[in-house]
Amino acid sequence: MRKLASHRNVCTLYSRYIYKYRAFLVMELCETDLRSLIIRQGGRVSKKVALTIGAALARTVALMHSENVIHFDLKARNVLFRRVPTSAAECRQYLRICDLGLAKLEGAEGIVGSTGGGTYTHQTPEQFWGLQSNADLTKVDVYGLGVVLWELLTGERPWKGKTKEEVTRAVCEGKRPSLKKIGHGQRWLLKWMWDEDPSKRPTAEKCAEVLEAQALNC
């Protein structure tokens, strides 16, 4: 856990306290989040920036998984930037994953409910159906990471205008966010990350390797 806490792409937690029965966290000050960055860029970042951010996210999530930590709520609003980046390199340098409030140690008991928590627009089929006690929870993060990557590549919000009930029905029927605007090189990866069968999804480490190679050649 110490290795994870000191990683540059994980938002630093300075303190925590309880006030009037509510928990508060004092974290590293960051200037913007991924959703706001996309808006700043006119609704869509460049492909190189998208792949660079995606690779950095996947690499950080892979580290979390190596420490047996599951995030459970990967989404654009939980990806912060210490400074507003002006290049792909600065995106990688300033990126911070935050809001580990739902995170858990894999194998810990009594922490996560049947869905595992999180944001319904980024949840997996198995979360909607109800997570089994032997579920590979790292694949929940991989699916959510895929939705964030989709946001990066399209500039759009997943399932915009859809209710939780509508999203639940669509995902359980095998539907996913549209891939019409996604290039072939990333389309197959997203399909892999969103596989109905969690055991067939890639690891976060594998996603990082693929995205790093694609960013390098972009």
Domains of the chain, each with CATH number or no CATH: 2-216 (1.10.510.10)
The residue with tokens 């700043």 is 40
Overall pTM surpassing 0.85 (yes/no): yes
Q: pLDDT tens-digit profile of 88-108? A: 999 999 999 998 755 665 555
| Mean pLDDT, all residues of the chain | 90
Q: How confident is the model at residue 133 (pLDDT cuts 50, 70, 90)?
A: confident
- So what's the pLDDT on residue 111? 42
184: its two tokens: 């072939």
Q: Other CB atoms closer than 10 Å to residue 177's CB: what's the count? A: 22
Distance CA 52, CA 47 (A): 8
Lowest mean pLDDT among 40-44, 103-107, 194-198, 204-208: 103-107
pLDDT > 90 in the chain, percent:
75
Among candidates 122, 92, 78, which has minimal Cα distance to 215?
Answer: 92
Lowest mean pLDDT among 69-73, 74-78, 192-196: 69-73
Lowest mean pLDDT among 6-10, 111-115, 195-199: 111-115
126: its two tokens: 């198995």
- So what's the pLDDT on residue 55? 98
Q: pLDDT tens-digit profile of 58-68? A: 999 999 999 88
Residue 77 has pLDDT above 70, yes or no: yes
Q: How confident is the model at residue 114 (pLDDT cuts 50, 70, 90)?
A: very low
Mean pLDDT of 42-50: 94
- So what's the pLDDT on residue 115? 47
Run of H or E residues at 79? strand 79-81
Residue 30 has pLDDT above 90, yes or no: yes
Residue 86 has pLDDT above 60, yes or no: yes
Q: What is the DSSP secondary-structure string of 15-73?
A: EEEEETTEEEEEE---SEEHHHHHHHTTS---HHHHHHHHHHHHHHHHHHHHTTEE---
